[in-house]
Chains A and B, each alone.
Chain A
Amino acid sequence: MDLVVTVIQATLGVAALLAVIRAVRGPNLADRIVALDLVLLLLAGGIAAEGARTGQATFLPVVVAVALVATAGSLLVARFIEWRDTP
């Protein structure tokens, strides 16, 4: 199980790297925020996988909180884009 979780977390890390490349490239704010949203979801996935290693629910509120922050952040930035860029 340890090995499986390590492989999963490494893969999620690679995925996060790809998303960061998109966040740096842009070109629009919408692209960047979706990419960063994805990084947070991947982080939450990695923490959830850690739960399989330890068998304890200690970190699960963190999973929920990170997913919540990712969503709320994206929604706020969406509002901001509309406010700033709509004629």
Chain B
Amino acid sequence: MTPVAVLGTVLMGAGTVFSLLAAWGILDFPSPLARMHAATKSASLGLALLAIGAGAAAESWALTGVGFLVAVFMFVTAPITGHMVGRAAYLAGQVDTLVHDDLAGVDSEPLRIGRPERSVRRPLRWAALVLIWMILWRDLAFGTLIGGMLVATLIEGLRKSFADDTKASLAGLVIFLVRYAGMVVVSNLRVAWEVITPRNERIREAIVAVPLQVGSLNAALLVANAVSFTPGSLAVELTEEPTTLYVHVLHFSTVDEVRETVRSLERLAARVYPDRTGEAVGNG
């Protein structure tokens, strides 16, 4: 076996372990939100590692490429799933194991829908989506093209309702992804330890309100997504004016500790979406 194949096999093994831990966690954890922590994130990381690892183990570029696409897809969607299901469970009154709850009594209005952006980037991004679709199917048939166009239009239509038109900085994004990948691995290992060690006395669930200082909605969404993909914390709600993130944590000790964790992500996100007005952002 070549080193690449060995690496791929190791990644697949790690992915399998995380998947198994996710399943064990969903069976073992004591409350709906805690189970969501175990399930959505560890399983997503597991699937991402399995997909990338399978490509490397087969020493196929096409496979590895699609593996990375799956990983990106899981990074984007897992927090959304966790947030939506967690929020629904909370609003439906199915969460009653909190030791501290800042969300109680807060009027949960969904985030206001942003303006559609008008720029040359939209058709370019649409074309890129169609291209990715064609690459995925590895097929130049007419039907595939139509399907890709439909999916790209759908994604673009959805996208404009979530984001504002703050431009991302590529260097900031790279720094963010590298630092963030490290945080995800560490926190996943911590949840793994939590699942292996018997019984859950250390679990103290809480919902903490964290006022955000980032200057744009895009940065706030990036922070919310990152918080949710980090096991042990889950963004349950994001409100505007003031921009406040409500974070559900598994191991609550103090409010300040939770805020400090989010603050470090905010500092990273502020570099991805730099504030053009020249105001100092996220250095609190």
Residues of A within 8 A of B (CB): 1, 4, 8, 11-12, 14-19, 21-22, 28, 30-31, 33-35, 37-38, 41-42, 44-45, 48-57, 60-61, 63-64, 67-68, 71, 74-75, 77-79, 81-82, 84-86
Residues of B within 8 A of A (CB): 5, 8-9, 12-13, 15-16, 19-20, 22-24, 26-27, 32, 35-36, 39-40, 43-44, 46-47, 50-51, 53-55, 57-60, 62-63, 66-67, 69-70, 73-74, 77, 80-81, 84-89, 91-94, 136-138
A61 vs chain B, min Cβ distance (A): 6
B29 vs chain A, min Cβ distance (A): 9
- Offer 10 A-B interface pairs, CB within 8 angstroms, sorted by A: A30-B86, A30-B89, A31-B35, A34-B32, A48-B67, A49-B16, A51-B55, A79-B84, A81-B92, A82-B91
Q: Is the CB of B47 within 8 A of A37?
A: no
Among candidates A1, A19, A55, residue contacting B27 with C-beta atoms closer than 8 Å:
A19
Q: Is the CB of B74 within 8 A of A34?
A: no
Q: How far is the CA of A67 from the CA of B137 in the complex (A)?
A: 16
Q: Enumerate chain B residues within 8 angstroms of A81, measured Cβ to Cβ.
A: 85, 88-89, 92
B166 vs chain A, min Cβ distance (A): 25
Q: Enumerate chain A residues within 8 angstroms of B20, measured Cβ to Cβ.
A: 11-12, 14-15
Q: Is the CB of A75 within 8 A of B80?
A: yes
A50 vs chain B, min Cβ distance (A): 8
Q: Interface of chain A, helix or strand or loop or mixed?
A: helix
B255 vs chain A, min Cβ distance (A): 26
Could you count the A-B residue pairs with CB atoms below 8 Å apart for me: how many are there? 181
Q: How far is the CA of A33 from the CA of B19 in the complex (A)?
A: 17
Closest to B46 in A: A45
Among candidates A17, A22, A35, A78, residue contacting B84 with C-beta atoms closer than 8 Å:
A78
Q: Is the CB of B81 within 8 A of A75?
A: yes
A53 vs chain B, min Cβ distance (A): 8
Q: Is the CB of B43 within 8 A of A41?
A: yes
A48-B94 contact, Cβ under 8 Å, with A21-B27, A63-B70? no
Among candidates B26, B74, B86, B136, residue contacting A19 with C-beta atoms closer than 8 Å:
B26
Q: Is the CB of A15 within 8 A of B19?
A: yes
Q: Is the CB of A34 within 8 A of B12?
A: no
Q: Is the CB of A78 within 8 A of B87?
A: yes
Q: Enumerate chain A residues within 8 angstroms of B60, measured Cβ to Cβ.
A: 51, 55-57
